[in-house]
Amino acid sequence: MPHGTDLPARYAVFGHPISHSLSPAIHRLFGEQCGITLEYTAIDVAPEAFADTVRRFLARAHGANVTLPHKAAAFALAQERSAAASRAGSANVLTRLADGRLLAHNTDGAGLVRDLTGRQQCALQGSRVLLLGAGGAARGVAWELLDAGVEELTIVNRTPDTAAALAGALGVTRARARYWQDLDELGSFDLIVHATSAGVLGQALALPPSLATSQTVGYDLSYGSGAQSFLAWARAAGARAACDGLGMLVEQAADAFALWHGRRPETDPVYAHLRATLA
């Protein structure tokens, strides 16, 4: 409870658009599970109004989640930044500290790794991973993939300079950039992470089937209609599994919940509920 009152603690997710966000349902279910009363809403805000709107909200609330297209702006807004947010240059969680300053954190990468290694039974230690895309979504997960023991992280992006910049920022020989037009010469991968916005934009990607074998896991960071074209490609290419980002969404939310409430909820029941609802 905030400030010693009996009002429910206030949280929100900020995005543009945001109407289909599952975050309010996820945090409501987490709260019920943990016996914590909270108010969590979805707030649509255009980029030019983001900073003022979030500052005003957080003057009277405990924390916020931030999604597209505001993650870099959320990072810029904060006075304190976690290591995960700093290396990604973006934040999906803002927390108001006791002295009123804002702390930016990024739980996306940890959420992906937890979903992959747990729910999807995808071993990352020693694995060969292809990361498609080098924008905000890719930056949000690249360091955590390396931290989880990925042996070779190959980054391929439509604009090659951006892939090279991300590989350079990662700063280890295990991470390297390759050209999109050379995809059919790269062999196959244990895991292919789709982190471009092509699916969400309704644009088709040309990917050779040689990237996948019957051992490969294909993982799209988004869920819903935006993930469908990559997942269809992964299935057609014979991948062992084609996973959308619903599990990552629930896991990153659980990490945000833990930051705010000091307790990490069980994610499996919430994941199962959402999966059934989406189906």
**Interacting residues with ligand ATR (CB under 6 A):** 68, 133-137, 157-159, 162, 196-198, 201, 203, 205
Residue nearest to ligand ATR (CB): 135
CB 60 within 8 A of CB 53: no
> Nearer Cβ to ligand ATR, position 198 or 258?
198
**Closer Cβ to ligand ATR, 198 or 241, answer by number:** 198
Active site residues: 71
Q: For residues 186 and 198, which CB has a smaller minimum distance to ligand ATR in the complex?
A: 198
Shorter beta-carbon distance to ligand ATR: residue 69 or 149? 69
Of 203 and 215, the one with the shorter C-beta distance to ligand ATR is 203
Crossing angle of the two packed helices 23-34 and 246-261, in degrees rounded to 10: 50
